[in-house]
Amino acid sequence: MEYRQLGSTGLRVSAFGMGCGNFGGIGSAPEFFGQGESEAEAFQLLDRAVELGINYLDTADAYGGGRSETTIGKWLSTKGTDVRDRLLISSKVANPVGEGPNQRGLSRRHVLRQVEASLSRLGVDHLDMYLVHEPDPTTPLEETLDVFDHLVRSGTVRYIGASNFSAWLMTRALWISDVGSLHRFDWIQNSFNLIDQADQAEVLELCRDQGLGFTPFSPLCGGWLTGKYRFEESYPDGSRMTLRPEPYLRYWNADTFAAIDRLAETASDLGVSTAGLALGWLHHHPDVTSSIVGPRRPDHFQPIEEAIGLSLSAEQWGEIGGFFTGAAGS
């Protein structure tokens, strides 16, 4: 496993992070709480991740209604201190954790309450990494940055970042931090993959200019880049498209599927799976720090291993990225 510097910090994260959003649920959606991976299945996945050298676990207070953090905490309790010392635990705050008007967002009250709840569920005394899960237009950005600065200065959190942030909003956040002598966000975590390359321009340009890390989620675009979907066929049982199709419907067109076919052909020529090549493309991306993968079975780690062992020339990398030029989201 390769380890990379997180932006301008001294922290080194594995080139692939373990996404834990399906432990006890499917992301933050209440209708799926209690689904996803069972505790035993999650333990098996976490064990495999550590065996592979992954040192970065990504979760959130809202995943599975708190079940994801609780599962990780229970797993950590079965391990020695050496395992905890090797791992970087990252969580997030902002998504709803209840019905009340103050049980969501990025207010000082909510952040302080939720970070304590996350620490309790995880069974740890600090978070290595803590992210804004999404922007909160109802709370002044100054208030959020001030409380995040407090968390770093108090030792509750070591490094801070932001997810689902546009370039202009991150620019504003960095300016507020600089002017107010506050700790600034160290990295951005947005959706990014071969199909969805929308961040290729402004966001990644900002990361380079400001020395920010970039840790994309959904590196396989909800399973699309595994080749499991076919244009004129129904969705496979239990697939993401049967559960939450809405974010991906814009990709359901002949151009996207033609590009996936080209990706599959190239993967076959290189002796890897379609998913392995998609992850390999991210692994070679000069602006990607760590891709957040969410294996749901032990065999889902195989494409990660393929990606780590794959060698692409600059010409091959550029050609593969161009397969999806013009597809929705690129």
Contact indicator for 22, 54 with CB cutoff of 8 Å: no
Residues 6+ apart with CB under 8 A from 211: 7, 8
Strand partners, 18: 57, 293
CB crowding 159-192: b at 16 or more within 10 Å, else e = bbbbbbbbbeebeebbebbeeeebbbbbbbbbbb
H runs (alpha helix) in 18-107: 39-52, 67-77, 81-86
Q: Which of 186, 199, 106, 89 is nearest to 147 (CA)?
A: 106
Strand pairing category for 88-93 and 127-132? parallel
Q: Given 56, 63, 130, 248, which residue is catalytic?
A: 63
130 is catalytic: no
Using DSSP's 3-state secondary structure scheme, residue 211 falls into coil
Please identify every residue annotated as catalytic: 63
